Amino acid sequence: MAAGYKLLNPDHVDPQFGKATPGKIAMWLFLVTDAMSFSGFLLAYAVLRASKTWPTPADHLGIALSAGATFILICSSVSMVLAIDSCRLKQRDKMLKWLAVTISGGAIFLGVQAYEYMHLVHQGLSLSHFIGGQNLFGSTFYMVTGFHGLHVLSGVIYLTCEYVNAYKGKYDNGNYQRLEVLGLFWHFVDLVWILVFTFIYLL
């Protein structure tokens, strides 16, 4: 009976849980439109690959390295969840730690992507293939991964700004709604990369 009372007691209910704030609604609308953009890119990639002679991705791309970067990005999504939960529990030090881990994960992913781009340029698949459309594989690869990379970069900047706010004590009251909105964007970026990695690197 006591356990049931705790579940029904309003004091044990998170007052922010399930509330669609204006910021959250705006982020969902943005993510829906952004998902359409990624869907268009991936669909174009699929159509071109099915209708043209296409190189084997494994012959040009670093599958193992990118798989490692994918794992790091997925882990950063977990650390984002832990940061939000730490904020909810008013655990400031843990919140800052997990936000820093998330930022580091995004930065490492960008570093791996930059390294891969330099490797491809060294192999002869330069950015001019993307700009001039001289190579459909190069054009679509740089278009899709570059578009996603811009999202990761935006996310890292977004995370860094919120880390500064958290360090200044903005979230010491346990109000995690702004971090939750940020988390939506970061989870979306991670999910999209799983699709991009599967379509472009593995299939």
Task: Give a yes or no: residue 112 inside a domain.
Answer: yes
Task: Give a yes or no: residue 115 inside a domain.
Answer: yes
pLDDT at position 166 is 92
Task: Give a yes or no: residue 167 inside a domain.
Answer: yes
Instruction: Give the span between the Cα atoms of 76 and 105, in whole angstroms.
Output: 5
| Closest C-alpha among 186, 179, 198 to residue 73 | 186
* Residue in the structure block whose two tokens are 């669609």: 20
Instruction: Give the span between the Cα atoms of 61 and 202, in whole angstroms.
Output: 10
pLDDT digits 0-9 by tens, 43-58: 988 888 887 777 777 7
Lowest mean pLDDT among 106-110, 144-148, 170-174, 192-196: 170-174
82: three-class secondary structure by DSSP: helix
Question: Which domain CATH number covers 192?
Answer: 1.20.120.80
pLDDT digits 0-9 by tens, 129-179: 555 555 777 778 888 999 999 999 999 999 999 999 999 988 888 788 899
The HSE-up count of residue 112 (CA atoms within 13 Å, CB side) is: 21
pLDDT at position 174 is 79
Q: Could you give the number of structural domains in the chain? A: 1
Task: Give a yes or no: residue 6 inside a domain.
Answer: no
Instruction: Give the span between the Cα atoms of 46 and 137, in whole angstroms.
Output: 11
Task: Give a yes or no: residue 15 inside a domain.
Answer: no
Better-scored residue on pLDDT, 82 or 130: 82
Rg (CA), the chain: 20
Q: Is the pLDDT of residue 16 over 80?
A: no
CA distances to 82, 95, 168, 189 from 164, in Å: 17, 12, 6, 21
Q: Is the pLDDT of residue 98 over 90?
A: yes
- pTM equals 0.83
Task: Give a yes or no: residue 9 inside a domain.
Answer: no
Chain centroid, CA 202 distance in Å: 19
Task: Give a yes or no: residue 111 inside a domain.
Answer: yes
Provide, rounded to the nearest whole percent, the portion of the chain with pLDDT above 90. Answer: 51
Task: Give a yes or no: residue 1 inside a domain.
Answer: no
Domain containing 31 equals 21-202
pLDDT at position 7 is 43
Instruction: Give the span between the Cα atoms of 198 and 42, in whole angstroms.
Output: 11
